Structure 1
Amino acid sequence: MLVSYIKTSGRNIVRNKLFSSINIVGLSISMSVGLIMISMLWDLFSYDRFHENHDRIYRIISKYQFLDHKDNSFMATTSLKAAKAIKEEFSGIEDVAIFGWAFNGDVSYNDKTIPLSGFWANEAVFKVFSFELLQGNPATALKQPFAIVLTEKSAKKMFGDVDALGKTINLKDKQYTITGIVKDVPTFSHIKFDMLTSLSTREVLEKNNKHEMAWNNIWSTWAYVLMPPRADLNTFQQELNKLSEREDKTIKHTHIQLALQPLTNIMAGENLNNQIGTTIGSTVVWILGSLSFIVILSACFNYTNLSIARSLRRSREVGIRKSIGALKSHVVSQFIVESVFISLLALLVAFGLFLVIRPHFISLESSLQMLKLQLTPALVLLFILFAIMVGVLAGLFPALFFSRINAVQVLKNLGSVPVLKGLTLRKVLIVFQYSLSIIAITATLIIYKQYKHFISFDLGFSTANILNISLKDNKAELLIKELSELPEVKGISQSLLVTSVGNYWGVHMKNPNNPTDSAGVYYNSVDENYLPLHNHELIAGNNFTANTQDSIETEVIVNQHVLKRFNIAEQNPAKAIGEVVKVDGKDLRIIGVIKNFEYGKVNNNSGKEVIIRYLKEKPRHLNVKILSADWPATYAELEAIWKKIDPVHPFEAKFYDDQIEEAFNGLKAAMKLGGFLAVLVICIASVGLLGMVIFTTETRLKEISIRKVMGASERGLLYLLSKSFLTLLLIAASIALPLIYFFFQQVLFPEIANHAPLNLSELFVGVIAVLLLALVIIGTQTFKVARTNPAEILKSE
């Protein structure tokens, strides 16, 4: 029976080449997106599965509340105090692996130096996780102070083929003994490192740092708990709540909430701050998944629409089948097999498109570069199952529709087919498809406008021609001296961080008018050249002066938001000069007030209250103003100067404007993806519309010929044939536009700071573009039919 269905399906495909081609093209375009999505999800859900106990590992996450100021979401980090308390006091757990933030630096051995990055880690790391230790004892490799474990790749970089175990290396003027060599971290691990050093080392180095073990120091420690099989997670959560209740008493006005996050949910789970590595998060997965589903659904609708449009022809076939004994189940099976057959043919085309799209998709954004999308036998099997599922989904409604046809009524009168009467399903599907098309293209245009708006936004200071150079722990004075001799260099300043690109450094500040009122403020530490170089507007007071010999911090510059938040000097900038505020426990005198500027990313509501501190520590960046007529030559000179001072680290320098643009790479990637999918949706809808127009005009050839004989003009016939389609398109526009307006104006924009206003003209650009494309499709086909010679059509009547 199945062989018979396949043969019949093949004959139908060959007999109806045009409609079969339209279906295959539409399905293949949409299925290529589905293949990308399946590959992406396959990679995401492969993360951290190589750990033997991956289903029993949970990360401790934290939520911070100070007074009434509560964070909206959890952070991936917790306090070192919480991690140690869980390890030492909690029963019913097997162990706790602890990672400490940013153990980075230049590792030296003899005359060789290489930069490596990693974490502080305790000895339980190799028990909780399945990182394979090639050399060394996993139980003791990270136990003693100043013990270090290198990855296989890092050891080879440093020592070549010489055995590295037991060697002593230098890092930040300290001697570390190599106690283990770990196999290179697998690609699908959310924790990646070049080296690990014992957490006990940090305890030695930070023994006088009281903040190290503070309950509210939740920003730089990751704790992973290995639970026993069939552990009671509710009981464990209650223990975490008791721990929070006890330790909250040690920090006034503070509450730290602890919770568990499964290891396998980290990569594609909740979007948390302070991740140990790059994650994609559930938001991106849901957005891409939803868009992919819409594209596939649109193609399935095409198939359904064209199948039902051909109901006049197929109804006779079904009527004859039923009259000779076919059951409903036989008819359903026939149409499902035919649909799956077409879907499998479309899979072949879709696979070719997948191979073309894959490298472009991976390169869209850094976070997507964590994906490999490599073909495996299991993935190919998923592709085939996906094609079968799409075939069943696309063919299900036509199959059910034709299976209900009454053979006697159809063979007696084709007009009895119910779908041919009134508002048919095919019209609903056309409206739905074009509503999706209008939504997709209009939303992409709006996002593009927002992107251009954000990267060109007036930040409140100048970024033009400023090159930010990452110092990498080098002495700024040496580089400044060399750079100052270049004629292209017009000014140099030093800073702790680059603002307006998503970097946030915070500190607590107390209200001088109310000692019980304190709040977090953001800051940047700079030298005396920074404000004039960036054209910050000083409203009152003075800039810093060169007082580098003074090691005690005594002065601060604040923005207008700080005056407003603490009501300093009744928010009068001139009167605020000389006021003393307590920042990070230090009494600092306000010497200047600057105009408000965008400290964080433009589209983020955080980063309002900002203070500018004088740089007392090592700067992280040089800000160099450059005016050059030959930038490649100037860059080569800058790189040569860098290599002379630092031959180890690569020269990292970016123009400020480029860094701001990079800060919105996520939005740029979303815009590209949205645009790509919008084009696909429109193409699929247009291919479907083309099929519907061809079918409709072909079925009305005799009517058109008679009308022409009776004197109808080509213009009149053109209007007659296209008006029903144009009406459907206008209905689609009337549905899509209010939905777009409501989503952006009422849902999305209220959550985004500094967004560009939504103009009605933007809404209609997408509508006009889609309508013009549809008009071209309708016009070319209807005009072709309207110009046919009626004698050729009616000669056989």
Structure 2
Amino acid sequence: MLRNIFNTAFRNLWKHKLFSFINVFGLASGMLVCLLAMIGIKGAFEYDSFHPNPDRTYRILTDVTTQTNDEQGYATSPMPLADALKKQYPFVEEATRVVRNYGDFTANRKQLPLIFSSVDPGFFRIFGFTLAKGQAAIAPQSVVLTPKTAERFFGTANPVGKRIDHTQLGALTVSGVLAEPPAKTHLDFDMLVSIATLTGSDWVRSQTNWGQYTQGYTYVLLKPGISAPTLDEILPSLAARVTKGIRFTSEKGYTFRSQSLSQLTPASEELMLGTYEPTIGKLITEMAVGLLTLLLATFNYINLTLARSLSRAREVGIRKVSGALRWQLMGQFMAESAFLSILGLGLAYGMLQLVKPMPFVQQWLIGGVEWEQDIRVWLVFITFSLVTGLLAGILPARILSGFQPAQVLRSQTGIRVFRSITLRKSLIVAQFAISLFSMITLLGMARQQHYMGTADYGFQRDNILTIPLNGFPANRLATSLNQLAGVERVTATAALFGDHGGDWRMIYRQRTGGDSVVTDVFATDSHLLPTLGLTLLAGQNILASVSDSASRLVLLNEEAVRTLRLGEPGAAVGQTLWLNDSIDVQVAGVVKDFQFTTLVWKIRPLMLRYQPTHFRYLNVKVATGNPEAAKADIARIWKKLNPYEPFAGVWYNDFLSDRHSHTDDISFMGLLLGLAISIACLGLLGMVTYTTQLRTKEVGIRKIMGARIDQIIWLLSWDFLKLLLLAGAIALPLGYLATRFFLMTFAYHISVGMGMLSLCFGTMLLLGGLTIGWRTYRTALTNPTDSLRSE
């Protein structure tokens, strides 16, 4: 019997190839997104699965109480906490601190931006990161590299014993290379630095500063047999003891609690300064997007199946006259649906292979997850596919199997949801409303990214060529470039404007106490202002110097002057400030505010200081006319002075565009939008097909009575155009609000106007109108004789 059911199902699907393909494509599109989400969920539960004692390892969280009695959890904790727990409580076997940071490192004539973590020796005893070469980074000035970082710096050569330089940490020695971890981890880093390397005054002060709880992370390993309640019992009293007498500025106080490593991913709460673990909210969002796309595909299947209800109704009538029971008919239709769903799974797998290499998919969804060889994953996929097919087919099966011969003759197959709107029309409205909503939000994101790449940052970016020095002396290259005819000016900087910013430092009005502010410190020279067109409001520029030592004269921006309460720009000139309460500097001048970081943040306090040892980039202003020829001359000079390092100069405009465009992310979201719109148009096609079949006789009579083709097209199309207008009325305000909410996360952003909304709505009407017009035009061209004969 089952064999006959599936044979019949296959013949019916093969007979209607176009409808079958549309259904398979729609279901495959929805399944594709769901498969990506399920693989991502699998990977989330495998985070940190390779550590030796996850049930005895805990991260200490800090719950901060604000002045308004609100509580906020921080993944970080004070730096003295690890030593206090290890020394004062016997049940703590090991403890370690992890201080996360990023910066530019130079080695083997290469300069790379890296994420690094400074760790205690206990880190290598608590966690399961194994060494492929060398030994752990325990001694001062020692580092351990990941395999990828070692390859980027040294290729296939053994990096152990090699030197890596950093502007603040100094010369570091590679003591070992880690093995590739077998699973993802929330401790994402490019290198591990021995925490004994940190010796600055800020770091020394933080070792006993219980008031600072945002600098790093604390992990402890409990002794065997010790349970979490034992640790949780002492943490509140410890917090109360160490915070006694501390005068907090913006909070009332804090307490500690533990978080088991085995329960760290997926995270059940949003923590401030969290690490790289996926959150339950992220997984739910991913799965919701997948299910929403699949829901659109299911709507599509229902519409297309019911569009063929007239032809299938005669089949049902004959089968019932022949003695078939309703459950047998339902089984037939459900088998067709399940068969289509399995075909959709196969097509979804093929589509997954196409999108798998996309950077967004690798970074955020399935990168590093082993799933293709896991039989459990395939069992879940197949089960999910069958359930999807059965759920998609149950409604059409109930409707079609319920037809009576009298119903077939009268063609009464409409099902009312409320008043005059049928179920299928409701599905069409939902499909296009979701598609239009997605279109508006995606266009808003794309426009914001484009704006961030092309906006006026307050400094000149045209005809400015940025060259990563990769450890090459800035003065030597600048001297040679200044001799070129096409080069107007050359300036050196520690970083590029419009990116992350400079090195954050505490700037004090007085050495002991007084006003202080976190300030971005950029190393540069006296040529910066004329090269990038910055405006000096008061005072003088920092002095040109041939010395390799740092200068005491600095420049501040207007925001730094306001934040430090130095008065007017002119009054700030000549005042002395303290950098990290150990270095005194003097304000030489004040520059007009400009955006030196991304547009996510408002303009922050900035200090420009001459520090030649920190120079990492050369910014070359070339003459207008033939900038590419000048770039070729600069590349020739580079090759002559540094023949073993490839020339990597890029125009500042291109750097900002590439930095902020996020093309890979937008491309993937555009793919999802394309799938949603395709599914919606196919569903609309099914609805139009169904309706025109019902009105075939009416069209024939109207043509005999003299109706023109355009009148018939309008008559058949208007009901569907009303559905598109209703979808627009629903989606336009929701898309506007969602886009506005997204843009609020940026300090500087685009506006959402009628032009953008009209463009999206017009695109939806165009696509929907073409779908409607194509089918109604074919119906309007039908010979009236054939139309009447078909009835």
- With structure 2 as the length reference, what TM-score do the two structures score? 0.83
Distance 1:279 1:750 in 2: 25
Residue 453 of structure 2 is aligned to residue 458 of structure 1: no
1:464 partner letter = D
Aligned to 1:760: 754
1:48 partner letter = D
2:734 partner letter = L
Please state whether the residue corresponding to 1:29 is helix, strand or coil. Answer: helix
Distance 2:410 2:489 in 1: 88
Residue 678 of structure 2 is aligned to residue 683 of structure 1: yes
Please state whether the residue corresponding to 2:20 is helix, strand or coil. Answer: helix
User: 1:575, CA displacement in angstroms?
Assistant: 3.9
2:301 partner letter = Y
**Equivalent runs, 1:41-52 vs 2, <5 Å:** 41-52=41-52
Distance 1:7 1:343 in 2: 16
Aligned to 1:427: 425
**Equivalent runs, 1:522-601 vs 2, <5 Å:** 522-546=520-544, 554-569=552-567, 572-585=568-581, 588-601=585-598
User: 1:483, CA displacement in angstroms?
Assistant: 3.6
Describe the shift of the 1:524–1:306 C-alpha distance in structure 2 as closer, same or farther (beyond 3 A): same
Does the Cα contact within 8 Å between 2:231 and 2:258 map onto a contact in 1? no
Describe the shift of the 1:464–1:64 C-alpha distance in structure 2 as closer, same or farther (beyond 3 A): farther
Residue 773 of structure 2 is aligned to residue 779 of structure 1: yes
1:362 partner letter = P
Counterpart pick for 1:612 among 603, 608, 622:
608
User: 1:589, CA displacement in angstroms?
Assistant: 4.1
Distance 1:307 1:775 in 2: 22
Does the Cα contact within 8 Å between 1:460 and 1:598 map onto a contact in 2? yes
Please state whether the residue corresponding to 1:522 is helix, strand or coil. Answer: strand
Please state whether the residue corresponding to 1:754 is helix, strand or coil. Answer: coil
User: 1:74, CA displacement in angstroms?
Assistant: 6.3
Aligned to 2:290: 292
Aligned length: 772
Distance 1:224 1:622 in 2: 41
Counterpart pick for 2:707 among 708, 712, 724:
712
Distance 2:649 2:272 in 1: 26
User: 1:341, CA displacement in angstroms?
Assistant: 1.1
2:628 partner letter = A
Aligned to 1:353: 351
Counterpart pick for 2:219 among 214, 221, 224:
224
Describe the shift of the 1:366–1:244 C-alpha distance in structure 2 as closer, same or farther (beyond 3 A): same
Q: Which runs of 5+ in 1 are unaligned?
A: none
Describe the shift of the 1:584–1:482 C-alpha distance in structure 2 as closer, same or farther (beyond 3 A): same
Does the Cα contact within 8 Å between 1:459 and 1:598 map onto a contact in 2? yes
Aligned to 2:14: 14
Distance 1:224 1:391 in 2: 47
Distance 2:454 2:47 in 1: 37
Distance 2:325 2:637 in 1: 81
Describe the shift of the 1:672–1:707 C-alpha distance in structure 2 as closer, same or farther (beyond 3 A): same
Please state whether the residue corresponding to 1:301 is helix, strand or coil. Answer: helix
Distance 1:332 1:46 in 2: 41
Residue 408 of structure 2 is aligned to residue 446 of structure 1: no
Does the Cα contact within 8 Å between 1:461 and 1:535 map onto a contact in 2? yes
2:31 partner letter = M
Does the Cα contact within 8 Å between 1:336 and 1:395 map onto a contact in 2? yes
Please state whether the residue corresponding to 1:546 is helix, strand or coil. Answer: coil
User: 1:398, CA displacement in angstroms?
Assistant: 3.0
Describe the shift of the 1:744–1:72 C-alpha distance in structure 2 as closer, same or farther (beyond 3 A): farther
Describe the shift of the 1:507–1:129 C-alpha distance in structure 2 as closer, same or farther (beyond 3 A): closer
Residue 646 of structure 2 is aligned to residue 623 of structure 1: no
Does the Cα contact within 8 Å between 1:362 and 1:368 map onto a contact in 2? no
Distance 2:408 2:779 in 1: 29
Describe the shift of the 1:784–1:347 C-alpha distance in structure 2 as closer, same or farther (beyond 3 A): same
Does the Cα contact within 8 Å between 1:22 and 1:688 map onto a contact in 2? no
Aligned to 2:733: 738
Please state whether the residue corresponding to 2:655 is helix, strand or coil. Answer: helix
Describe the shift of the 1:329–1:126 C-alpha distance in structure 2 as closer, same or farther (beyond 3 A): farther
Aligned to 2:497: 499
Compute the RMSD of aligned alpha carbons: 4.5
Distance 1:480 1:775 in 2: 61
Does the Cα contact within 8 Å between 2:60 and 2:257 map onto a contact in 1? yes
Distance 2:514 2:413 in 1: 82
Does the Cα contact within 8 Å between 1:473 and 1:618 map onto a contact in 2? no
Distance 2:630 2:483 in 1: 17
Does the Cα contact within 8 Å between 2:302 and 2:392 map onto a contact in 1? yes
User: 1:545, CA displacement in angstroms?
Assistant: 1.5
Does the Cα contact within 8 Å between 1:339 and 1:391 map onto a contact in 2? yes
Distance 1:558 1:753 in 2: 21
- For residues 257-294 of structure 1, the C-alpha deviation after alignment (integer angstroms, 9 at most, x for no partner) is 65555556778657778777x77777765655443333
Describe the shift of the 1:675–1:638 C-alpha distance in structure 2 as closer, same or farther (beyond 3 A): farther
Aligned to 2:782: 788
Describe the shift of the 1:265–1:655 C-alpha distance in structure 2 as closer, same or farther (beyond 3 A): farther
- With structure 1 as the length reference, what TM-score do the two structures score? 0.82
Aligned to 1:658: 654
Please state whether the residue corresponding to 1:592 is helix, strand or coil. Answer: strand
- For residues 341-399 of structure 1, the C-alpha deviation after alignment (integer angstroms, 9 at most, x for no partner) is 1111122222222222222x236786679557773243444432332232133224334
- For residues 159-184 of structure 1, the C-alpha deviation after alignment (integer angstroms, 9 at most, x for no partner) is 9899x9xx966667989796x77534
Distance 2:615 2:245 in 1: 34
Does the Cα contact within 8 Å between 1:556 and 1:611 map onto a contact in 2? yes
Does the Cα contact within 8 Å between 2:480 and 2:637 map onto a contact in 1? no
Aligned to 2:716: 721
Does the Cα contact within 8 Å between 2:61 and 2:257 map onto a contact in 1? yes
1:753 partner letter = A
User: 1:4, CA displacement in angstroms?
Assistant: 4.3
Does the Cα contact within 8 Å between 1:362 and 1:371 map onto a contact in 2? no
Aligned to 2:599: 602
User: 1:702, CA displacement in angstroms?
Assistant: 1.7
1:384 partner letter = I
User: 1:6, CA displacement in angstroms?
Assistant: 2.4
1:789 partner letter = N
1:427 partner letter = K
Distance 1:142 1:663 in 2: 33
- For residues 489-547 of structure 1, the C-alpha deviation after alignment (integer angstroms, 9 at most, x for no partner) is 332223233232123533334568x9755443333232222222211112222221135
Does the Cα contact within 8 Å between 1:436 and 1:736 map onto a contact in 2? yes
User: 1:676, CA displacement in angstroms?
Assistant: 1.7
Describe the shift of the 1:547–1:280 C-alpha distance in structure 2 as closer, same or farther (beyond 3 A): farther
- For residues 40-98 of structure 1, the C-alpha deviation after alignment (integer angstroms, 9 at most, x for no partner) is 44445444323344465444456889x97999976655444223323333454443344
Does the Cα contact within 8 Å between 1:106 and 1:114 map onto a contact in 2? yes
Does the Cα contact within 8 Å between 2:360 and 2:665 map onto a contact in 1? no
Please state whether the residue corresponding to 1:253 is helix, strand or coil. Answer: coil
User: 1:692, CA displacement in angstroms?
Assistant: 1.9
User: 1:597, CA displacement in angstroms?
Assistant: 1.4
User: 1:35, CA displacement in angstroms?
Assistant: 3.2
Please state whether the residue corresponding to 1:751 is helix, strand or coil. Answer: coil
Does the Cα contact within 8 Å between 2:110 and 2:470 map onto a contact in 1? no
Does the Cα contact within 8 Å between 1:455 and 1:661 map onto a contact in 2? yes
Residue 742 of structure 2 is aligned to residue 748 of structure 1: yes
Describe the shift of the 1:782–1:181 C-alpha distance in structure 2 as closer, same or farther (beyond 3 A): closer
Describe the shift of the 1:727–1:543 C-alpha distance in structure 2 as closer, same or farther (beyond 3 A): same
Does the Cα contact within 8 Å between 1:721 and 1:782 map onto a contact in 2? yes
User: 1:211, CA displacement in angstroms?
Assistant: 2.9
Describe the shift of the 1:256–1:107 C-alpha distance in structure 2 as closer, same or farther (beyond 3 A): farther
Describe the shift of the 1:401–1:280 C-alpha distance in structure 2 as closer, same or farther (beyond 3 A): same
Residue range with higher mean Cα deviation, 574-583 or 493-502: 574-583
User: 1:790, CA displacement in angstroms?
Assistant: 1.3
User: 1:731, CA displacement in angstroms?
Assistant: 0.8
Identity across matched positions, percent: 30
2:80 partner letter = K
1:344 partner letter = I
**Equivalent runs, 1:240-279 vs 2, <5 Å:** 240-248=235-243, 252-253=247-248, 260=258, 263=261, 269=267
Distance 1:603 1:171 in 2: 32
